[in-house]
């Protein structure tokens, strides 16, 4: 799963107002070719959504987002979540996930939190809220002392800055409403979400190609 997340480079975050909306969003994203979704615990009936997706679409990597405590984490795993992510750093949650061989990427804001999260065994470290921290400039600043840490840029990622986050060194980007548009959900416009999914995926791949070219040119 780690390799898959690194390959795709996008973690669509589903943060909607109903179970039906969440299932529709997940189906639209997965049908676009992105086999990863994060169902946040702010979705009404989030665990039911995770359970249904795990049952009906076993090839889809479904994670639980906005996990704030161990009880929620355990229940998420019980219903089929394949990874856990949180908006902040909870070392107890990270330790539990590592012991249970579960993928986990906690949120971090400061260099100290990034270092603590990585030392604790996190698979990725989610820099959140990234846009509020100077965006791609902050990711680039973090990659200087932490070139070995796999960072996920999350919070305020959109079409205007997605490429820059990857160029700055992010291993992946977490995208919520800028991919799963509220109007697209309301109108049940599946193709709108699919088109955005394709667009973001292309942006990530092109940015990675550009980054590799730049690295080769600097050697």
Q: Domain residues of the chain, as ranges?
A: 2-218
Token digits for 135? 């965006």
User: How confident is the model at residue 1, as a pLDDT?
Assistant: 86
User: How confident is the model at residue 215, as a pLDDT?
Assistant: 60
Residue that the structure tokens 């400061």 belong to: 110
pLDDT of 217 higher than 60: no
Does domain 2-218 sit in CATH 3.40.50.920?
Answer: no
Phi, psi of 43 (to 5 degrees): -75, 125
User: How confident is the model at residue 211, as a pLDDT?
Assistant: 85
pLDDT band at 79 (very low <50, low <70, confident <90, very high): very high
Which has more pLDDT, 134 or 171?
171
Average pLDDT over every residue of 55-76: 96
- Cα–Cα distance measured from residue 53 to residue 105, given in angstroms and rounded to the nearest whole number: 21
The pLDDT tens digits of the residues spanning 7-58 come to 999 999 999 999 999 999 999 999 999 999 999 999 999 999 999 999 999 9
Burial of 99 (0-12, 13-18, 19+ CB in 10 A): exposed
Q: Are 193 and 29 in contact (CB under 8 A)?
A: yes
pLDDT band at 134 (very low <50, low <70, confident <90, very high): confident
% pLDDT > 70, the chain: 98
pLDDT of 218 higher than 80: no
pLDDT band at 80 (very low <50, low <70, confident <90, very high): very high
> Closest by alpha carbon to 201, among 162, 170, 149, 168?
162
- Cα–Cα distance measured from residue 214 to residue 72, given in angstroms and rounded to the nearest whole number: 43
pLDDT band at 133 (very low <50, low <70, confident <90, very high): confident
pTM for the predicted model, two decimal places: 0.93
Average pLDDT over every residue of 75-104: 96
pLDDT of 153 higher than 60: yes
């Amino acid at each position: 799963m780690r390799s898959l997340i690194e390959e795709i480079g996008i973690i669509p975050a589903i943060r909607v107002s109903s179970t039906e909306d969440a299932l529709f969003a997940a189906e639209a994203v997965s049908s676009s070719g992105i086999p990863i979704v994060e169902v946040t615990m702010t979705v009404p009936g989030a665990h039911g959504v995770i359970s249904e997706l795990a049952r009906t679409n076993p090839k889809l990597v479904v994670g639980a987002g906005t996990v704030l405590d161990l009880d929620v984490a355990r229940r998420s795993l019980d219903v089929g979540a394949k990874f856990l992510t949180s908006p902040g750093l909870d070392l107890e949650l990270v330790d539990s996930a590592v012991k249970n061989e579960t993928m986990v990427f906690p949120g971090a804001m400061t260099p100290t939190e990034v270092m603590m999260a990585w030392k604790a065994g996190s698979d990725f470290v989610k820099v959140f809220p990234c846009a509020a921290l100077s965006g791609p400039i902050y990711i680039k600043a973090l990659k200087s002392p932490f070139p070995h840490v796999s960072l996920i840029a999350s919070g305020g990622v959109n079409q205007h800055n997605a490429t820059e986050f990857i160029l700055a060194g992010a291993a992946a980007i977490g995208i919520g409403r800028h991919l799963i548009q509220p109007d697209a959900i309301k109108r049940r416009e599946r193709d709108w979400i699919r088109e955005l999914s394709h667009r973001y995926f292309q942006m990530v791949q092109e940015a990675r190609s550009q980054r590799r070219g730049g690295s080769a040119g600097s050697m």
